[in-house]
Structure 1
């Protein structure tokens, strides 16, 4: 497992990776579905943005409360019901950046031992630690960046 302070740094720097991945894309490219059955790049960014606030809420609740309930969120319902194609790329990127900046400041006050001891109860996964939620959040952007690169490559073909 990555040491907690390094995990915080990875989480905080993820926005730079995402900004680089979408840099220079036109609105038309962002909305395109070059790979059938896959989300557009804008849908991917909106998904990351929506789950950013969910993951931040989970971390805040784990830090502040004793074993809080953490509700599941359905990414497939979000993409169909929350106007992903109408979103603005820069707004989504700013929301991610501000959320990570705020959470980074909060997480820097948490002792590494608390990261493994504090936990919430996820409605599907059961007990999850603060460290596990942070790890999920830190890896969310790196997980999706290859999909964006794949779309860019398909658009260039």
Structure 2
């Protein structure tokens, strides 16, 4: 867990500044039609934090915990990230990930071994799910901020 926590802490320190450094006209520019803009990707990462925060909390007490997927495209569309100020979405991302980090840091070590069933029926540990959350975060950050 220490590595997962350290990775998330690093991103909390670096991502806001890196995202703010993207030229304003580039934050809402989609690379191709039907693909998310950098601002929408950051919004998607907020949605991911919202959903995973709840999962990380519930998986500590509900065993086995069954993960229910959410409709990512609909969340991004309904949140209308493309139309919102960049700083608002950056601040939302920071706050949500500070909460995720807090849950990770305060989780008793034995709860990291709790079982979580992903939608395809595979069983993983809560610790694995938390590391996968940061992997997912890094994948998308690589799409918007090279070198993060």
| TM bucket, shorter chain | 0.7 to 0.9
Q: Where does the alignment leave 5 or more consecutive residues of structure 2 unmatched?
A: none
Specify which of 80, 91, 96 is matched with residue 93 of structure 2. Answer: 96
- What's 1:65 paired with? 62
Q: 8 Å contact 2:53–2:99 — kept in the other structure?
A: no
SS at match of 2:60: helix
Which has the larger Rg?
1
Larger RCO (alpha carbons 8 Å, 6+ apart)? 1
SS at match of 2:106: coil
1:29 equivalenced with 2:26 (yes/no): yes
Q: 8 Å contact 2:67–2:116 — kept in the other structure?
A: yes
RMSD across aligned positions (CA): 2.2
1:5 equivalenced with 2:6 (yes/no): no
Report the Cα offset of residue 8 of structure 1.
1.5
Report the Cα offset of residue 63 of structure 1.
1.3
- What's 1:155 paired with? none
- What's 1:81 paired with? 78
| TM-score, normalisation: structure 2 | 0.81
- Residues 108-152 of structure 1 deviation map (CA, whole Å, 9 limit, x = unaligned): 23343431x2122233354232112211222233212221147xx
1:106 to 1:147, Cα distance in 2 relative to 1, 3 A? closer
Count of aligned pairs between the two proteins: 145
Specify which of 129, 135, 146 is matched with residue 133 of structure 1. Answer: 129
| TM-score, normalisation: structure 1 | 0.77
Specify which of 111, 114, 120 is matched with residue 118 of structure 1. Answer: 114
1:88 to 1:109, Cα distance in 2 relative to 1, 3 A? same
- Residues 22-48 of structure 1 deviation map (CA, whole Å, 9 limit, x = unaligned): 123344221112x22332111111111
Q: 8 Å contact 1:11–1:134 — kept in the other structure?
A: no
Q: Where does the alignment leave 5 or more consecutive residues of structure 1 unmatched?
A: 151-157
